[in-house]
Structure 1
Amino acid sequence: MNRDKKTGILLGAVAVLLVIVVGLGVFLIGMKLGQKKGESRDIAAAEDLPVQEETPALTRKPTAAPTEKPTPTAAPTSTPTQAPTAVPTQPSSVSSDSYRIDAGLREWTSQGLVFLQGDYITLYVNAEDYNNGLIGWEANAEGDSLKIYYPKAHDSGHGGTVVTLMAFDWGENGYENFPNYKIACLTENKKYIAMFPTDVQYNPNDSVQAEEYARLRQWASNIDQDNSSNPFSAHE
């Protein structure tokens, strides 16, 4: 009787132990399966995420430092001069055979002035002096110069030249050797030069001649292309 009881107790203990072992095994297996499922979900979630491309770091090239200092523009140190007037270079349309400075020269009076006007030139003088015989004129044989003179001195052998107007073709510069001259006027084909005498052209012992000649020379001194009161002009 006692032996059977002990055997039953032992068998019961073995059965309980088996149940515990089996339950523990089932529990461990379940945990391992759950861990694998969790890893699978994490992997799937990771695969679904967009892959972020790697952005390269921005680089900045260093600016090269200048090797030389810029040279400042120098300020002008002098006042510019006016450019010379351009000189026409075309050949003359008036041949030396047909041109005469006194061509068509005639006189007419207007507003107290006497105008000597021809085909190529115009010269005005004081009407009172002209009418009183204080102004005379004559062209040379070649017809390229016109002398304005003081008749009283001229007729008494003292020259009397007040000014000589000379026509030069472009390219002729012989007047540059004259001791006293001015450019009277420029045209497309001619250069007109006013040449003034440098010696006494009247009787120095005659006070009347001295006074009248001085007045005429003062008038003639205005024959200058740069003078707004220039009494001489030329045309073609």
Structure 2
Amino acid sequence: MKRRTFLKGSASVLAASIGKSVHATAHLRDIRASSGAVQIAPAGYPQTEVWAYNGQVPGATLRFRQGDWLEARLINDLQEDTTLHWHGLRLPNDMDGVPGMTQEAVAPGASFDYRFQMRDAGTFWYHPHQNSVEQISRGLAGVIIVDEDEQPDIDGEETLVLQDWRMTEEAQIHPSFGNRHDMSHAGRLGNYISVNGGRTSRDPIPKARAYVFVL
């Protein structure tokens, strides 16, 4: 083998290894579940007491490329147990976040590390599977986007999260969780809808794709 051929081949292998490690590894990120207050209702109403991921509703959009690894630490600052369930993703059973089945619930003040590979491109969402009716209704949810290798030909994109809140007249979340009427009919229906927690974009996008989630 000629020296030039060897060096060229070695460089290709090294470049492939570096590229794989960069795209297949994600930095550990903290996802903190805690109580807080955000402005969901229009101006003039008080802030709404919510449960949020890292202080925002909805939680931050987590974005990856297909083949990347998600590494996240759930930190529970709530006053009750919680988990993280990665809705729609193919992953190891012990990372699925279902208390009593795939993992123990994360107690107040405790944490749990999740790590798995993003095997499929698509749009998904993350939320608790502990006391889901209340915890999701109080704001615990966020979007996951896994990009395909070849991006579509678009000018831009918009992620829209529609949330249906059951509010009191003081713009606080109504505490009627899991009542029998809701459970036997269409579930918990709200009286106020927010888009991305009340924030919307009015900038025109000529050619775009949108990720829409109704929570």
- TM-score, structure 1 normalization: 0.21
Identify, as 1 or 2, the structure richer in helix: 1
Higher relative contact order (CA 8 A, sep 6+): 2
More strand by share: 2
Instruction: Provide TM-score, normalisation by structure 2.
Output: 0.22
